[in-house]
């Protein structure tokens, strides 16, 4: 690889866009705990790559299911779209209660597990609000999904995520973006203008409730848009579009999904896609990167995995088998420190 290119990639990787995005995602995934967001199990690095070990979602992403599972009949029936949107709402509410703005919701960032439930993924563009911060300013997201206030360069809050939810829900059912026709090539500025001033045209297949929920989410005026209000998404949950959703059962993971992936099918255009992740290879990293890696490679830190260790009894079996369920003497720090020094072993 050309030395100049190598140095530029190394610079981006260690202190710039690539490293920053990976660190943001790692930090946020370590904070969240929801069955509707992918869980971080482990974070580590190799010589060439940053690695995040997360929930396996072998059902593929929803963009694939919209367009390629049945190419003659793309899109989802309304009940299926409603189910996925409901699970997305629960995941986004959790993020917003943690003061995290997602900023990149779209069908390809929503993954399906082997039981038919979805989780939000790819939080590299997410941002955490500071303690006394209510709004931020910054250009981030995917063209065709970004809210008008973000495109105008104004300050924004969690409301931008509900605009992206409106775009995503529309695409679930229409198999196209609300601001461009399927396959249409639109320049960025034209697409931006359509989002800020254009009128969404709904297909005849949309029910009145579907039109109503999409219109409320795609509202250009922030104060009139459905969203996260008073610390919850109750305003959205009570919309008639979601009248068939039993929210408590959904939260508990016992509401039957409308579609269950076939375990024998690989839901990807190509088998090579299954192993594709954002990575940079063949780049040697120097001493200044050690601080970054020390922070990134924190090992197993996610809340779901800690709880699983406790709930399954593994933690107790490994640590609580002394008299009356106490920590055994050989695991007590005091007993370890009291042991005589030995020339045949080392205790860290």
Known catalytic residues? Answer: 104
Instruction: Tell how strand 127-128 and strand 118-120 pair up.
Output: unpaired
Cβ–Cβ < 8 Å for 60, 268: yes
**326 within 8 A of 319, measured Cβ to Cβ:** no
| DSSP conformation class of 232 | B
**Residue 123, CA distances (Å) to 22, 47, 129, 290 in order:** 9, 23, 14, 23
Strand duo 110-112 + 40-45: pairing:
unpaired
Calculate ∠ Cα 290-11-297, nearest 5°.
30
Element (H, E) at 52: strand 50-54
| Residue 324 DSSP symbol | G
Residues near 107 by Cβ (< 8 Å), separated by ≥ 6? 61, 62, 63, 66, 168, 171, 172
DSSP category for residue 258: S
Q: Which two tokens stand for residue 188?
A: 């960025």
Contact indicator for 51, 45 with CB cutoff of 8 Å:
yes
Cα separation, 174 vs 272, whole angstroms:
28
């Amino acid at each position: 690889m050309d030395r100049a290119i190598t140095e530029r990639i190394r610079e981006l990787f260690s202190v710039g866009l690539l490293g920053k995005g990976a660190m943001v995602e790692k930090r946020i995934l370590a904070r969240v705990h929801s069955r509707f967001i992918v869980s971080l199990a482990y974070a580590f690095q190799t010589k060439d790559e940053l690695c995040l070990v997360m929930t396996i979602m072998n059902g593929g992403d929803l963009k694939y299911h919209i367009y390629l599972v049945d190419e003659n009949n793309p899109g989802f029936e309304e009940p299926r779209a409603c189910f996925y949107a409901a699970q997305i709402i629960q995941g986004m509410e959790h993020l917003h209660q943690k003061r995290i703005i997602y900023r990149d919701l779209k069908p390809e960032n929503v993954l399906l597990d082997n039981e038919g439930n979805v989780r939000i993924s790819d939080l590299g563009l997410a941002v955490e609000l500071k303690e006394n911060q209510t709004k931020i300013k910054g250009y981030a997201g995917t063209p065709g999904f970004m809210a008008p206030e973000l495109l105008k360069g104004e300050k924004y809050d969690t409301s931008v995520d509900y605009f992206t939810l409106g775009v995503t829900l529309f695409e679930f059912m229409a198999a196209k973006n609300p601001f461009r026709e399927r396959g249409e090539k639109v320049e960025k500025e034209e697409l931006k203008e359509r989002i800020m001033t254009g009128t969404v045209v709904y297909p005849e297949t949309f029910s009145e409730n579907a039109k109503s929920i999409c219109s409320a989410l795609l509202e250009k005026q922030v104060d009139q848009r459905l969203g996260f209000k008073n610390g919850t998404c109750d305003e959205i949950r009570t919309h008639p579009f979601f009248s068939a959703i039993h929210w408590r059962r959904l939260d508990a993971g016992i509401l039957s999904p409308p579609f269950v992936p076939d375990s024998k099918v690989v839901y990807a255009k190509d088998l090579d896609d299954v192993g594709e992740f954002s990575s940079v290879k063949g780049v040697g990293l120097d001493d200044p990167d050690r601080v970054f890696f020390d922070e990134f490679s924190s090992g197993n830190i996610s809340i779901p995995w800690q709880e699983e260790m406790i709930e399954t009894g593994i933690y107790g079996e490994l640590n609580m088998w002394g008299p009356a369920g106490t920590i055994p003497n050989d695991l007590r720090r005091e007993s370890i420190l009291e042991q005589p020094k030995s020339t045949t072993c080392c205790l860290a």
